[in-house]
Structure 1
Amino acid sequence: MESGQYLKLFEDEATFYNHIILGNLLPGRLWDPLPHFFQTWLRNYVAGTLLYLISGFLWCFYIYYLKRNVYLHKDAIPSNKAMLLQIYVAMKAMPWYCALPSISEYMIENGWTKCFSRISDVGWPAYLIYLVINLVLVEFGIYWMHRELHDIKPLYKYLHATHHIYNKQNTLSPFAGLAFHPLDGIMQALPHVVALFFVPMHFTTHLALLFLEAIWTANIHDCINANIWPVMGAGYHTIHHTTYRHNYGHFSIWMDWMFGTLQNPIDDDGSKKMM
């Protein structure tokens, strides 16, 4: 297949996703005249907002009401005011967050990255190998981006401090997962896009990973210590919000272990979970 024909596969797939989201969730066809890029951005904005709000409300309802005092002591449950503030901060940033996947799709559709359209183009073994390498690069990139947002004082003061006003169990909630300064949130997701220039990546998998960030960040801000090694769960991330100097990792604890910033949560018996 010629290069132009192959790139058309990416655009056709993006158009298909646009019609699924916009055609079913927005009235009429008012979005049809928009250029393809802006349709993609609007689709990402609508889908991202719904994913954030629905997953956040369901998770909060489950742990704070259905399972009240089971996972968290009543003094650790954040107030409605704190959660509404987090939603407000996230909603202000959401239009900017959605620019990143829209730009990454534009670059993919124009052949600037190593993305491939179909798993059959490389085969399942290669797909899985590429996926693992991609996730390692993303983990490495997010770790150092997050760490520098703490270590470089102006970045912390003007960007990352917006997120760290939530620094105790009774202020952290799943809604805090996307409550960032817009540029901060984009910088921490940027490794997902940068990795596309170095490792072949399946287009749909790339999009799915970007949107799964909303669910993952909700999970690591719920303060529940699940102790699933080597996952960077909420137990580890709550420590990050209280010490500011540990557990910068995203999906796993490996980078913190490698670079000496790991601090383990304390188990119910008072001992620390060890590697």
Structure 2
Amino acid sequence: MDIPLHYFDEYVGDKLYSYLDNPFAKLATPLAANATKALDLSSTQAAVSSVTQLLATVPALSSLSRDSIVRQSISLYGLTYLGILVLYFSVATFSYYFIFDHRMKLHPRYLPDQVRKEIAFSLEAFPVLDLLTLPWFVGDVRGWSMLYDTVAEGPFGERGGALPWVYMAFSAVFFLWFTDFCIYWVHRWLHIPFLYKRLHKPHHKWIIPTPFASHAFHPVDGYLQSIPYHLACYLFPIHKYMFIGLFSFVNLWSIFIHDSDMLCDHPLEHYVNGPAHHTLHHIYFTCNYGQYFVWADKYFGSFRVPAKGDDPLIAVLAAIEKKKILEAVEAASSDSDRSSRDSSVEAVVLKAPDMKRIDSGLGSETELGLPGSGSSSKASSVKGDDEPASAPESVVEIQEVKRPRREGLRARK
């Protein structure tokens, strides 16, 4: 973080801090004759005078050098807070309008006014999250980590040639592997009931998440899952620019996997933990804990491969289709046939899946009862006012759940 801090001080910080004098220094001057070193609380006037004099001795921010840990902490906190706001609103907004399928907002598990709630929750988490993260960044700037500036200063830098560059590539791969493994276990431990109820449950409020849900979590939850990123550069050498790029990438990835897209049957779904995998995590709660890859979920038995029948868009399309049929029948039928009409529509339209919570030992789990996952299902008939419950015409057997066509950036390519 010393790279953005250097440019900030060079072009903004020095001028900004020069205006931040201690206002009590000027107020204390005319009171200096009556002030004492100890607090005098004998009267209101004496108390004001002594407290002002004491505060006047506090160094002004304008007097702090670039190397001051106080100034560095203030600057880094401001830069981190500004950076996460810019990244969150720019990338999440783009993903929401150009990738996220807005029909998902019709899902029965999509909350009223959810986007506003996700944004509000994120804005509440950012100040505390940045404060918890600050010591790691201060340590980076003050040289306590293993970040290095140039290739020559890194491992094998003295030898020259291709070896230092090979190590840089290796450090990037190892960073992704190390953080993915650690986050898998941090994430899985956060599903232990004791921790889940206190920390991780707010993030699972968004069962059908939008990109704005990526940072809508309890600040301690977000901090615990960020520790592996910061810890990595204290355990093994990483080039500073490489670290900034990787740290930005993981934040982009966190937004990317929250777009509720259920693309499946592609060759990478058994290797890369994408939006479909994380959508299943929000629906089922106890699968696909990984961040970028699925190897840890496969090895430790928590992997669930995206399937056509798992797509929450099926429930949305069912509701849309039911509404269309009701409107069509409404226009063609009289009010006297309403009961029998509704029973027929219920039989034709694929119902939204039923969800139930289970205590799995790792936290709340949701089972999604979807027809069509390798077996046929029948929509139950409903007895109307003018027809028997066993009417065969009102029962339709559904042989297969077809993959719904997604709308968004990928569908238009």
TM-score over 0.5 for the alignment? Answer: yes
Counterparts in 2 of 1:1-275, with a 5 A limit? 11=2, 13-19=3-9, 23=12, 29-30=15-16, 35-64=71-100, 75=107, 81-99=113-131, 101-122=133-154, 123-151=164-192, 153-167=193-207, 169=208, 172-226=209-263, 227=266, 228-229=268-269, 230-267=271-308
For structure 2, which runs of at least 5 residues remain unmatched after alignment?
21-60, 62-70, 155-163, 310-371, 375-413
Provide the C-alpha distance between the structure 2 equivalents of 1:178 and 1:124, rounded to a whole number of angstroms. 34
User: CA shift at 1:224, angstroms?
Assistant: 0.7
Q: Which letter maps to 1:184?
A: D
Cα root mean square deviation, aligned: 2.8
- C-alpha distance after superposition, 1:140-185 (max 9, x if no partner): 110000000002x221111101101111x3xx10010000100000
CA distance in structure 1 between the aligned counterparts of 2:194 and 2:8, rounded to whole angstroms: 38
What's the offset of the Cα at 1:77?
10
Structure 2 counterpart SS, 1:111: coil
The structure with the greater share of residues assigned to helix is 1
TM superposition shift of 1:80: 7.1
Q: Which one-letter code corresponds to 1:46 in the other structure?
A: L
| CA distance in 2 between partners of 1:50 and 1:76 (Å) | 31
How has the CA–CA distance of structure 1 residues 115 and 79 changed in structure 2, closer, same or farther, with 3 Å as cutoff? same
Partners of 1:178 and 1:214 within 8 A in 2 = no
The count of corresponding residues between Structure 1 and Structure 2 is 249
Per mean C-alpha deviation after superposition, the further-off stretch among 244-253 and 190-199 is 190-199
Using CA pairs under 8 Å that are at least 6 residues apart, name the structure with larger relative contact order, 1 or 2. Answer: 1
CA 117–99 in structure 1, closer or farther in 2 if over 3 Å, else same = farther
TM-score w.r.t. length of structure 1: 0.80
In terms of Rg, which structure is larger? 2
Deviations 1:46-83 (A, max 9, x none): 0111110111112111135xx755xx685489567101
Per the TM alignment, residue 29 of structure 1 is displaced from its structure 2 partner at its CA by 4.5
Determine the C-alpha separation between the residues in 1 that align with 2:132 and 2:245. Answer: 13
Unaligned runs of 5+ in 1: 1-9
CA distance in 2, matches of 1:101, 1:212: 17
* TM-score, normalization by structure 2: 0.55
